[in-house]
Amino acid sequence: MPLAIFDLDNTLLAGDSDYLWGHFLAQRGIVDSEEYEKENLRFYEEYKAGTLDILEFLAFSLKPLAEQTPETLAALHRDFMQTVIIPIIPPASRKLLQLHRNRGDELLIITATNRFVTAPIAEELGVPYLLATDAEMENGRYTGRVAGIPCFREGKVQRLHDWLQHTGHNLARSWFYSDSHNDLPLLEMVSHPVAVDPDETLADHASMKGWPVLSLRGENVEVKSGEWNLQQDEH
């Protein structure tokens, strides 16, 4: 069964859930608004520029999880889903996922954003498999530290490789959809790389390679350039 792999932030979502979670915490007064917002924006700009120190960012972004009880975090996340995330799920994203379901493909989201933030989003989208950065837990509480390999850049490749070995899946006839040049290591590995509302670096790379470019920001999946045809890979 072919894999259809999807980045989450700015791909299936019309926004970045990691950045928006930090903004949400600041708005709710869970973290110091001015200082946290400044650092949150700095890390986001570094991510877009391809200069992010992922371990420095995770020390920053996972700290609030360690400062709240699981019950408080769960309540906050329910509010976050309803007020922030569901409004930025484009109808076209749900349609694209359904197109792959109809083909019988296995759906997987792979994201650098931590599992606490992203697991409920994957559930909302009906995607059964999720590879995300894992936050360490001890005695039922988050510690503020990362567990294992961050699911970022080359770490995504390693995490996917480990998952493939564990599950018995493979990348034959696989698809990967992403917006970010940070995902080039994984885009180069799959049978069908697709740039979705790409950043400038990825757009240039996709043009050079002849990869299809899609937009999911409207009601329907829009092919911006290249050839995108799910029928080209018949089962």
Q: Does the pLDDT at position 235 exceed 50?
A: no
Distance CA 92, CA 37 (A): 30
Categorize the per-residue pLDDT at 231 as very low, low, confident or very high, splitting at 50, 70 and 90. low
Categorize the per-residue pLDDT at 149 as very low, low, confident or very high, splitting at 50, 70 and 90. very high
| Pairing relationship of beta strands 192-196 and 222-225 according to DSSP bridges | unpaired
Report residue 61 as tokens.
């972004």
Q: Cα-flanking dihedrals φ and ψ of residue 176, to 5°? A: -145, 125
Categorize the per-residue pLDDT at 232 as very low, low, confident or very high, splitting at 50, 70 and 90. very low
Categorize the per-residue pLDDT at 86 as very low, low, confident or very high, splitting at 50, 70 and 90. very high
Read off the pLDDT of residues 24-71 as tens digits, 9 standing for 90 and up: 999 999 998 888 889 888 988 998 888 989 889 989 999 999 999 999
Mean pLDDT of the chain: 94
Radius of gyration of the CA atoms of the chain, in A: 17
Catalytic residue among 9, 18, 197, 199: 9
Q: Is the pTM of this model over 0.85?
A: yes
Read off the pLDDT of residues 43-54 as tens digits, 9 standing for 90 and up: 889 988 889 898
Give residue limits of the domains in the chain: 3-233
Distance CA 37, CA 31 (A): 9
| CATH entry, 3-233, from 3.40.720.10, 3.40.50.300, 3.40.50.1000, 3.40.50.740 | 3.40.50.1000
Specify the pLDDT at position 122: 98
Beta bridge partners of 132: 111
* Catalytic residue list contains 9: yes
* Catalytic residue list contains 7: yes
Catalytic residue among 7, 179, 197, 199: 7
Specify the pLDDT at position 64: 95
Residues 6+ apart with CB under 8 A from 132: 109, 110, 111, 112, 113, 114, 115, 118, 119, 151
Read off the pLDDT of residues 118-147 as tens digits, 9 standing for 90 and up: 999 999 999 999 999 999 999 999 999 999
Distance CA 41, CA 108 (A): 28
Q: Does the pLDDT at position 233 exceed 70?
A: no
What order of strands is seen across the sheet that includes strand 129-138? 141-147, 129-138, 106-114, 3-6, 175-178, 192-196, 213-215, 222-225
